Amino acid sequence: MHQCCVLCCLCTAFLSALFSGLDVTFVLTDHSKSWTEAQSYCREHHTDLASVRNEAENQKVQELVPGGGGFVWIGLFRDSWKWSDGSSSSFRYWRSGQPNNYGGQEACAAADFSSSGRWVDVKCDEKFPFICSGPSECVFEEEEEDSEEIEDDCDCICCD
């Protein structure tokens, strides 16, 4: 395996986790960003913030986050609670008493992994890790101009 790929995969092991299913791929990114910043990042590097449209997808999301984790952004926002990617779904996994729009300022949803991954509404400018959906991006950078070609079968996710 090429040195860049090894470094890339090592970086990935520490900074993100990937789960692929039949219909969707979820990527957990542990860089803390606001909901809008996370949405922009996901749209640039993947497809969008995660849309969790059914129990199977919810299970995939839960498998990404280590036990006892805190809040993690998902792609749900308060506009009749729509998904960031425009998809629709009646599936909801709200924590008891949520959404409550406390103070009239909670317009974004996060999964609370200190509470079984149940969803809560929070202020969009809070900074949390986040889950993207869609294909992962792999970018390789050569260390030397004359280094050998990177093999096509080198499959890993690179971090920023």
Range 19-133 classified under CATH 3.10.100.10: yes
Beta strand spans in 1-158 (E): 16-20, 25-33, 48-49, 71-77, 82-83, 108-112, 118-122, 128-133
Q: In which residue ranges of the chain is pLDDT below 70?
A: 1-23, 68, 136-160
Largest Cα separation within the chain, whole Å, is 60
Beta carbons of 66 and 109 less than 8 angstroms apart: no
pLDDT for 142 equals: 39
pTM of the model: 0.72
